[in-house]
Structure 1
Amino acid sequence: MKAPKITFLFIILSFFSLTAKSQQAFDHSIWDRALLLNVSPDGKVNYDGFMRDSSLLYSYFLELSKNPPTASWSKDETLAYWINAYNAYTIKLIIDSYPIKSIKDIDDPWKKEFFKINGEWYSLNDLEHKILRKMNDPRIHFAINCASFSCPIVWNQAFTGDNVDEALHTLTKNFINDPQRNKITNDTVEASKIFLWYKKDFKINGGDVADFINKYADIKIDKQSKKGYMDYNWSLNE
């Protein structure tokens, strides 16, 4: 009669192990709270507020630094971690030099190695080009923010493994159909320069930038449309 008890105990332990693995690999609730307090629904950032709530930010930075993604994380959890890290450290970059009128007032803002994760120094370029772009999801370009008006808005929620796919879809659609960032009519297109700078990222399954835009655009681009790019406004997104 002892063997069945051992088997039952093993089943119970296995259940709790699987339950633990199904939980989120990283708790982004601190960042979620900071965003809710300091970012409006339309993406305007209150940098003064972030400075007042700096204890929240630095608690989150500590968690990011101590708990980088591992091989056991799902792709969505890993993607959420790095997008949140990029956006959070962009906020840090700005408030460390605030008040400024543009991220470009900072010397080499994207090359500057100013934060550590797991003991290693990183720049924003490292996160974007060496990690996020290599995850082969071009929608990340509409989730990471460069603290400027023409960038995609800062989403006022934290990305998580559970919400990141749906959020990326919604943010991409919203960005493409936002007339302040892309002007699309039946015969003329003025696209964000994001589609110029990262053109190769949007060439998926033999398609081109227009094909990618048309997946999300309310007004579809005709191949014969006159095409150009909007001026990029680097003013601070506040």
Structure 2
Amino acid sequence: MKTLFTLLLTLISFSTFSAPKSELWPYWNSSNEANTVAISHQTWQDLLDNYLVTDGEYTLFKYGLVSSQDKANLKEYIDRLSQQDPRHLTKAQQYAYWVNLYNAVTVDLIVDAYPIKSITKLGGLFSFGPWGDDVVTINGKALTLNDIEHRILRPIWNDPRTHYAVNCASLGCPNLQSQAFTADNTEQLLEKAAKEFINSDKGVLQLKGKAQLSSIYEWFADDFGNKQQLIEHLSKYRPELAKLNGKISYEYDWDLNDKK
């Protein structure tokens, strides 16, 4: 029993401090730029309007107050997206599709398991969270949240701001945006999300002689580049960080972004 417990702690610790690499799933890397179809995300927007609130530097979700009807609406929205073949959409429509699907599925998982202290409590016995679990089937292919983020969004768009768009239902995560992503507002929302996060203490906390950065910048260092490139990225949204020096540490709060 002691050996099993030690193995469990080792596996959980490993999962905590490791992150999937960006590895393209080629099947999803196509589009139809002539397609004028626009996917409606109004159902997701209605849920955000009803249950997302701002509290200081955080946006919090009122998971415990989601009505039975809205739970059904959320599942219907996810199901409706899963019936689409995103490869037939424009790239702009696809990006909004994948980000909204990721965030909607995450909220759905929390609502189903609520009350829960952290998303990391979901998943199997040896899992650190639900990211490796099959959560949606599209075109007959089972996808996990990791697939959506690390095999589709990251490698196809190669935009580090994607880390500010997808939300892991945790206080340490970049805020869930109050607007659903669309083909028209994606650039605006990505810039807004980046600026908000980098100017928050959970993004970059400056202390005497050192700086505490979100673990996102450690886990996904390949997306943000070397130290100088990371500083350039941060200072674009927070100019005083151009002079960032000294010791850098990393921190992340996995507590649920819950508004009770």
TM value normalised by structure 2: 0.76
How does 1:68-87 map onto structure 2 within 5 Å? 68-71=85-88, 73-87=89-103
Are the counterparts in 1 of residues 170 and 255 from structure 2 also a CA contact under 8 Å?
yes
Superposition RMSD on alpha carbons, in Å? 2.1
Alignment gaps of 5+ in structure 1: 1-20
Query: Could you tell me how far apart the structure 1 residues matched to 2:239 and 2:245 are?
Result: 17
Establish whether residue 183 from structure 1 lines up as the match of residue 205 from structure 2.
Answer: yes
Q: How does 1:15-164 map to 2 (within 5 A)?
A: 25-41=38-54, 42-52=58-68, 53-71=70-88, 73-107=89-123, 108=127, 109-134=130-155, 135-164=157-186
Q: State the one-letter code of the partner of 2:154.
A: R
Larger C-alpha radius of gyration, 1 or 2? 1
Please say if residues 79 and 132 of structure 1, whose CA atoms lie closer than 8 Å, have aligned partners that are also in contact: yes
Contact 2:61 2:257 in 1 (8 A): yes
Taking a change above 3 Å as real, the CA distance of residues 23 and 207 of structure 1, as seen in their structure-2 partners, is farther
Flag structure 2 segments of 5+ consecutive residues without an equivalent.
1-33
Report if the CA contact (8 A) 1:110-1:123 is conserved: yes
Deviations 1:32-77 (A, max 9, x none): 1111111114410111233531121022112111113124x33221
Say if 2:190 is the partner of 1:168. yes
Which structure is higher in strand share?
2
Q: 2 CA distance for matches of 1:140 and 1:50?
A: 27
Distance 1:224 1:122 in 2: 40
Report % sequence identity. 36
How many residue pairs were aligned?
215
Q: 1:22 to 1:69 in 2, by over 3 A?
A: closer
The 8 Å contact of residues 177 and 218 in structure 1, kept in 2 or not, is answered as no
TM-score, with structure 1 as normaliser? 0.83
Distance 1:89 1:103 in 2: 12
Q: CA deviation at 1:161?
A: 0.2
* Residues 23 and 30 of structure 1, relative CA distance in 2, 3 Å threshold: farther
1:110-154 per-position Cα deviation (integer Å, ceiling 9, x unaligned)? 101122223321111110110011120110101111111100111
- Runs of 4+ aligned residues of structure 1 deviating over 6 Å after TM superposition are none
Separation of aligned partners in 1, 2:175 and 2:67 = 20
Say if 1:185 and 1:216 are closer, same or farther in 2 by CA, change over 3 A. farther
